Amino acid sequence: MIVDVHTHVFPDEIALEVVPKMAAGAGIKEAVDGRLSSLVESMDEAGIDISWLQPVATKPRQVNSINRWVENGRSERVVAFGSFHPECKNLPGLIRDLSSRRFPGIKIHPEYHSIEPDDEKLFPMYEAIIEERMIVLFHAGVDIEIPTLNSTPDHFARLIDRFPDLVMILAHLGGFRQWEEVARVLIGRNVYLDTSYVLGHLPDEDFVTMVRAHGVDRVLFGTDSPWADQKNELEHLRSLPFSEEELDLICGENAERLLRDGR
């Protein structure tokens, strides 16, 4: 079972307009066009069984419509996390509603949401996430399209100290272009790291060293599609000097366990 825990899709009419603009703003070329149907085609080509959608609401009024849309897009091969915005009223209520609708977690993007992950404003929501045995996946580190940096390894280290029972996934191996700090304060901590948009940006030797130092049982395969190509990312990961047992954990077993057991 191959699971990509970090993908993005948009309604067809929005994807065809927004994805090229976002890619141009970041100075990259998108791998696919951002439609759900294109993601499934990409999964088929790459040999990926399941993808997790990680939607980002940039305005509070978008949250409900985005959550309804990704909810309708769920299938045996597509798992949807919920969207969130820090300016929504009654954040614990939002979490309980998402839990009742079988969302396994939410995505937080501290740069798009203009909030630090350890901001006390979010603490009641984190408590609800813990109570509902849900997961939170954070964007971590630099976002190549946005100049702010609200999601440093130090922010996440403080959050782990404050909420040791909060099940967290930190994208981009704990912090894009922040990997020295990740090694200093996050490696070995009780947190999951995903591999999205890391391979080819971090030297392979450093990647392997960090993954093993953190523990392969807490690393999850992710691509950040449509910004990276699923097939290329999976082939790159498989080319590294991991054992078959290590690859099985990273590529799917850890994600399956996390959804099943919440840990």
What the chain holds in terms of domains, given with CATH numbers, is: 3-261 (3.20.20.140)
Handedness of CA 237, 43, 28, 219 (dihedral sign): negative
* Class of residue 161 by CB neighbours under 10 A (exposed 0-12, middle 13-18, buried 19+): exposed
225 has which bridge partners? Answer: 7
What pLDDT does 262 receive? 73
Instruction: Report the alpha-carbon distance of residue 170 to residue 155 in Å, rounded.
Output: 11
- Residues 56/92, Cβ–Cβ less than 8 Å: no
**What's the distance, CA 72 to chain centroid?**
20
pLDDT in tens, 44-65: 999 999 999 999 999 999 999 9
Listed as ranges, residues in the chain with pLDDT below 70 are 263
Residue 81 has what DSSP assignment? Answer: P
pLDDT for residue 263:
67
Query: Contact 219/250 with Cβ under 8 angstroms?
Result: yes
pLDDT given for residue 261 in this prediction: 87
Asked if 61 contacts 88 with a C-beta cutoff of 8 angstroms, the reply is: no
Q: Which residue from 172, 174, 138 is spatially nearest to 153, judged by alpha carbons? A: 174
Whole-number Å distance between alpha carbons of 232 and 199:
10
